[in-house]
Amino acid sequence: MKQMEKPFVNRIVLTIILLMLVGFGLMTYFIIKDKPAPESENAVVRVMSYNLLVDNEDYDWGTPLGERPNGAVAYILSTRPDVIGIQEASRGWYSAFREKLKGEYDFAEPDFGALEDGSCTGLMYDVKKLRLVASEQIIYSVSNNERMRLVDVGVFERISDGKRFAVSSTHLDSEYPGDRTAERLVQIDELIGIAKRYVSEYGCPFISTGDMNITPDKPEYKALTENGVFSDADSAPLPHVVDHIFHTSGVKPVTVKLGDDEAVKGASDHLPLYADFNLE
């Protein structure tokens, strides 16, 4: 009788242990199931600003396209921004992106933009995440290069939850020929007016990307960040960087990163800058 008791006790102990494990598993399942989901990558809007460096097919001072699009495309696919504000995007860049990003990204303004010779400032968006609601190109009233100095705007709706936000891409005047502070201040005033109009018309936040050709110590930067409309997504912008991402209320920046991957170092004379936002 005693010889049979030990296996019997062992079976009872094993049964109890199994029941405890099952109970613990069910309890863990329901705790996880009922726990609010953390903010995932899908809940974040990633917006990039990328000056691509125009090629010499469009401008004789440009740099041959060569293999440069391969590095840019690799970085775009690895970081997967929702929207990309592009500057100095010549015909060669548009063609390369259409070919290499087909089915992944599209342009807010078709056919190389609305200008007869093509606009070099544009917007790309992830067609798997977003719907394009509206788009527009506005040429600045003053500029030293009409094809570059404009604002390309898109209103996007997130497929997952229907939330909307607007993004613009722009490229303010460079220091040619000579000081262009006054012209940039006019362009900034017009950009602020565009942002206000879109916020009012669509009731959504506005994110502005671009090569602003200004560093944080310039008066133009102060005009952009002390107007009651825009804030810099980067609370501590690098002193030498002229590419920026600004935003209105309605979004909260959570990450800002300047691309330094090997893939992009040879693609342009600028590094891509992206910011992650939570839609409020």
pLDDT digits 0-9 by tens, 98-157: 999 999 999 998 655 555 567 789 999 999 999 999 999 999 999 998 888 999 999 999
Distance CA(53)–CA(93), nearest Å, equals 9
Q: Domain locations in the chain?
A: 1-35, 41-279
What pLDDT was estimated at residue 262? 80
- Amino acid letter at 42? N
Cα 45 from Cα 52, distance rounded (Å): 22
CA dist., res. 62 & res. 77, Å (int): 25
Contacts of 210 (CB under 8 A, 6+ apart): 49, 85, 87, 121, 168, 169, 170, 171, 172, 243, 244
d(Cα 210, Cα 86) in Å, to the nearest integer? Answer: 7
Q: Is 209 helix (H, G, I), strand (E, B) or coil?
A: strand
* CA angle at 75 for the pair 98 and 70, rounded to the nearest 5°: 55
**Whether 238 contacts 214, CB under 8 Å:** no
Q: Say whether pLDDT at 161 is over 60.
A: yes
Q: What is the pLDDT of residue 101?
A: 97
- CB atoms near residue 249 (< 10 Å): 13
pTM of the model: 0.83
What is the per-residue pLDDT for 15?
A: 52
pLDDT in tens, 46-98: 999 999 988 777 666 678 889 999 999 999 999 999 999 999 988 889 899 99
Give the three-state DSSP class for 96.
helix
What fold does the segment set 41-279 form as a domain? Deoxyribonuclease I; Chain A (3.60.10)
